[in-house]
């Protein structure tokens, strides 16, 4: 039976999410020791944290560091404490706890009650402080966001470290969504992505979308980076069917999703944010 955290990852259960990438998720503890108490998990269900492979454990801690800095920026505290207990839920997780005194870290303390509106406010505030972006839809930070599927490792490697240049610079994030049943209408797509149901959608061919980034003399000014974008484009066209870029929303901030269907029907690709005025 999937753990409660796996059910959050799949979208079956809601959570006050604060950050997400292809392999990790962070959300508010609903029975916190203090306001702003966050849980950070690997999406892949593993019971004991030290059973994670070395590289996955390191990646989990690196992701936790980004989230901890956001918690520190959003919640009044002296430090953000770190704890790993691992007895409550059979799914590895890290506690990030805002603290002003050592006793704030004691799990013997009674859990506090935080109103739903305040939980949403905290989650939104923390998400807004995550360096490089929270990975969540702006409209869904603090609430149950889009369901996700496992991101193919080659795709995650191809996207890692790349940034899209518009009027600002935004990171690319590898994403994957469960295979939608039936026709991929605008309504189905928006729901899958966790975007507002009335959001505007425009489609662009991938080659056109990336043309300024794949050109050797393009906006990046770096042939090595241009070659990485070429490799990403080639991977998506070879490994996926029906690749399209979906521009969602309106100026000045537009969410861009480059997606195609994998052999199992999963929608995979990358997302980023465009600034256009």
Same fold, 4-128 and 153-275: no
The verdict on whether 24 is a catalytic residue reads no
Whether residue 219 is predicted with pLDDT greater than 80 in this model: the reply is: no
Whether residue 80 is predicted with pLDDT greater than 70 in this model: the reply is: yes
pLDDT per position as a tens digit, 238-250 = 999 999 999 998 8
What pLDDT sits at residue 49?
A: 97
CATH (one of 3.20.20.240, 1.10.8.50, 3.40.50.2030, 3.40.1460.10) for 153-275: 3.40.1460.10
**Confidence band, pLDDT 50/70/90 cuts, at residue 181:** low
Whether residue 271 is predicted with pLDDT greater than 70 in this model: the reply is: yes
What pLDDT sits at residue 257?
A: 95
Instruction: Assess contact for 82 and 96: CB atoms under 8 A.
Output: yes
pLDDT per position as a tens digit, 19-41 = 999 899 999 999 999 999 999 99
Whether residue 138 is predicted with pLDDT greater than 60 in this model: the reply is: no
The Cα–Cα gap between 65 and 130 comes to: 10
What pLDDT sits at residue 196?
A: 82
Q: What is the average per-residue pLDDT within 103-108?
A: 94
Indicate the average pLDDT of the chain. Answer: 89
Q: Would you say domain 4-128 falls under CATH 3.30.428.10?
A: yes
pLDDT per position as a tens digit, 220-232 = 778 888 999 999 9
The Cα–Cα gap between 267 and 54 comes to: 29
Would you kindly state where each structural domain of the chain is located, as residue ranges? 4-128, 153-275
Check 24, 37, 93, 95 and give the catalytic one.
Answer: 93
Distances from the Cα of 256 to the Cαs of 180, 193, 205, 217, in angstroms?
A: 19, 11, 12, 23
The Cα–Cα gap between 257 and 116 comes to: 30
């Amino acid at each position: 039976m999937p753990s409660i955290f796996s059910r959050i990852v799949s979208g079956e259960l809601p959570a006050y999410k604060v950050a997400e990438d292809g392999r990790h998720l962070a959300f508010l503890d609903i029975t916190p020791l203090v306001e702003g108490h966050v849980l950070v998990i690997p999406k892949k269900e593993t019971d004991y944290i030290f059973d994670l492979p070395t590289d996955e454990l390191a990646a989990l801690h690196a992701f936790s560091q980004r989230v901890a800095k956001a918690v520190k920026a959003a919640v009044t505290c002296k430090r953000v404490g770190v704890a790993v207990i691992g007895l409550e839920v059979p799914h590895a997780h890290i506690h990030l706890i805002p603290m002003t005194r050592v006793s704030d870290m004691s799990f013997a303390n009674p859990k506090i009650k935080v109103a739903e509106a305040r939980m949403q406010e905290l989650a939104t505030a923390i998400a807004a402080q995550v360096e490089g972006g929270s990975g969540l839809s702006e409209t869904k930070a603090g609430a149950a966001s889009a369901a996700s599927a496992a991101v193919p490792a080659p795709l995650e490697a191809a996207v890692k470290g790349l940034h899209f240049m518009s009027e600002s610079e935004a990171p690319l994030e590898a994403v994957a969504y469960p295979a939608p049943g039936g026709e991929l209408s605008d309504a189905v797509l928006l729901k899958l992505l966790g975007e507002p149901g009335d959001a505007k959608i425009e489609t662009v061919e991938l080659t056109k979308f990336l043309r300024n980034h794949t050109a050797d003399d393009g906006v990046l000014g770096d042939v090595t980076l241009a070659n990485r974008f070429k490799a990403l484009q080639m991977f998506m066209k070879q490994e996926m069917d029906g690749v399209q870029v979906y521009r969602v929303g309106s100026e000045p901030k537009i969410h861009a999703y480059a997606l195609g269907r994998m052999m199992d029907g999963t929608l995979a690709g990358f997302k980023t944010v465009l600034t256009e005025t």
